[in-house]
Copies of this chain bind each other. A is one copy, B any other.
Amino acid sequence: MVLRMSTMLLKTLREEPVEAEVPSHRLLLRAGYIRRAAPGGYTWLPLGKLVLDQVTRIIREEMSAIGGQEVGFPSLLTREAYDLSGRWTEYGDGIFTLKDRRGADHLLAPTHEEMFTLLVQDMTSSYRDFPLILFQVQTKFRDEARPRAGLLRGREFLMKDAYSFDLSEEGLIEAYGKHRAAYQRIFERLGLEHTIVSAMSGAMGGSASEEFLAAAEVGEDTFVGCTGCDYAANTEAVVTPVPPADDREHGPLTVHDTPDTPTIASLVDLANARAFDGRTDWTAADTLKNVVVTVHHPGKEDELLVIGVPGDREVDLKRLDAVLSPSTATMFDDFASRPDLVRGYIGPQGIKVRYLADPRIAPGTAWLTGANEPGRHATSVVAGRDFTPDGAIEAAEVRAGDPCPECGTGELTMRRGIEIAHIFQLGRRYTDVFKVDVLGADGKPVRPTMGSYGIGVSRAVASIVEQHHDDRGIVWPDEVAPADVHVVGAGKEGQIEAALTLAAELAGAGLRVLVDDRRNVSAGVKFTDAELIGIPRCVVVGRRLSDGYAELRNRRTGERRDLPLAEVTGELVTAAPSRPSR
């Protein structure tokens, strides 16, 4: 394959595109890989399409290697199956819905659990038909509130979604393990440094759901590690260790006048200045902050909820949403309508709204908190004595230095990453919805159990750029580069012709070649473009052509050396990555 820059639809940009916030977005625009076509919708230009195809090929190969069978579902589906599963309502504004010319409700499917389940119900009847791993590589649509960062969070994107069907827990665990290993191989081939983190706390257990996060400063996900063990989890999955019960004796609840204390800091200052309860060592961690949120339940009425957290921590809305999912929460601010909730002075004692507390608000602990009267707070408000929460909630922010929930001795560290994949032991949620049963080996019906496994394909492309670039441009890993070699004909008499001859020779040897044969562009611009575009290996046919030499450049290391033209092909064929199939 020879791609000629003189005829390609390729224009590099000198200026930084104003709309681009993150390096991958900026570089993919500047180097001519993508263009914006709609809010959160991007066009793959010829170079970009080649990269996308390479990434897709690698994913397909590894999915086939674990026995995955590729299928292709429509994107546009009728509402019924998603009504039965409840997801039509759960997704709410997050999916695109439309009516056809007859007024029938449709959706652009965000994922296809329902349809795969119905397909397996249709196509199987006995235990002999299992296990099954099915996948598709498909355009997905989500009505993101804030599409951003180019390919990292779009409204239309390419995804590989896979589903496993097994008849036993052991089977599901094996399928899950196969996907986990396949994903590790995929991301290794894509050159993506990644961490696998627990994605879920709570009842389903830590291994039932994991995310693959590509380390990147621009990542939207914060994940934790531990200084003492190999624990890794996204912040939504971090479980706060419950402190031992506090069995000290506390004095009686005492109400204090606390005018002009709109913030925790001002309250702590006042408490120390006036030596509440004889103490002058009050800190924010001694206070109890009560945050009012409105919980939106899909398809049901909103509900008020008060969340209690230690005053030195904020409520993390992402963690809160994860706990409440599929419901969502927003901050409540219509205090005029609720005189019982005294803004800035709310306390959990005698509260008439559902009240959930951080696990640190353990029975017997005493707090400085609001007195439910304007300008007054109370001390020695004791959990289990003066108030009893309706339950515990994991909604407080996680911070570096927090104790590790796994080993208990290490401290948490914080990193940022991009979610590039998610694997999940779904169990029988969907086979229960559609009552899928097949004949078991013992003659009795058995209900299949499922796993779901997704990779963000277009997002992976952007993640690769986040991890593989420098200040001059992109530095593609070998296997995903749009070409193996970039041949630059510097421009003087005969150099472009020689570059084209070399390109043909390299293509004949099985390499994919991009050749810069533009006649009206200076050598300097060509070198700058080559670094921006980021093909791993570059051959310059330039001033030493007259001696029969070309210059080899390694984009990653910056190494340059001259080589006789006749040896270039042999050298590069040896250096090129071996590809199982192309």
Contact = CB atoms under 8 A, between A and B. Distances in A.
A332 interface: no
Given A46-B70, A72-B43, A75-B156, A9 B123 contact: yes
A441 interface: no
Contacts of A582: 581
Interface in A15-66: 32, 35, 37-39, 41-46, 48-49, 52
Q: Is the interface of A mostly helix, strand, loop or mixed?
A: mixed
Interface string A1-20: 00000111111000000000
A75 B39 contact: no
A97 interface: yes
Contact of A43 (B32, B39, B115): B115
Contacts of A77: 37-38, 41
A69 interface: yes
A398 to B, nearest CB: 30
A134 B98 contact: no
B98 A98 contact: yes
Interface stretch (A137-145, A200-208, A254-262, A359-367): A137-145
A98 B97 contact: yes
Nearest to A72: B44
Nearest to A165: B9
A271 to B, nearest CB: 45
B101 A145 contact: yes
A128 interface: yes
A93 interface: yes
A46 B69 contact: yes
B76 A52 contact: no
Given A37-B115, A100-B96, A143-B100, A9 B78 contact: no
Contact of A9 (B37, B42, B52, B69): B69
Contact of A70 (B37, B49, B74, B104): B49
Interface in A70-113: 70-78, 93, 96-98, 100-101, 104, 106, 108
Contacts of A11: 123-124
Chain A contact-residue range equals: 35 or more
B119 A43 contact: yes
Contacts of A508: none
A124 B48 CA distance: 17
A537 interface: no
A289 interface: no
A122 interface: yes
Contact of A76 (B49, B100, B129, B155): B155
A243 interface: no
A67 interface: yes
Nearest to A130: B7
A520 interface: yes
Most chain-B Cβ atoms within 10 A of its Cβ — which of A75, A76, A129?
A: A76
A498 interface: no
A582 B582 CA distance: 7
Contacts of A520: 128
A150 to B, nearest CB: 13
A568 interface: no
A9 B71 contact: yes
A370 B100 CA distance: 42
A132 interface: yes
Contact of A101 (B35, B93, B108): B93
A160 to B, nearest CB: 14
A74 B43 contact: yes
Interface string A437-469: 000000000000000000000000000000000
A138 to B, nearest CB: 9
A78 to B, nearest CB: 5
A542 B32 CA distance: 58
Contacts of A44: 71-72
A74 B156 contact: yes
A106 B96 CA distance: 10
A197 to B, nearest CB: 29
B71 A45 contact: yes
Nearest to A115: B37
Contact of A49 (B43, B71, B100, B108): B71
A156 B107 CA distance: 13
8 contacts: A9-B69, A9-B134, A41-B76, A43-B72, A43-B119, A45-B123, A76-B141, A101-B143
Given A37-B73, A49-B70, A74-B156, 10 more contacts: A9-B69, A9-B123, A10-B123, A35-B122, A35-B123, A39-B104, A46-B69, A96-B100, A97-B98, A100-B143
Interface of A: 6-11, 32, 35, 37-39, 41-46, 48-49, 52, 67, 69-78, 93, 96-98, 100-101, 104, 106, 108, 115, 119-120, 122-124, 128-129, 132, 134, 139, 141, 143, 145, 155-156, 520, 581-582
A-B CB proximity, top 4 nearest: A41-B74, A98-B98, A44-B72, A46-B69
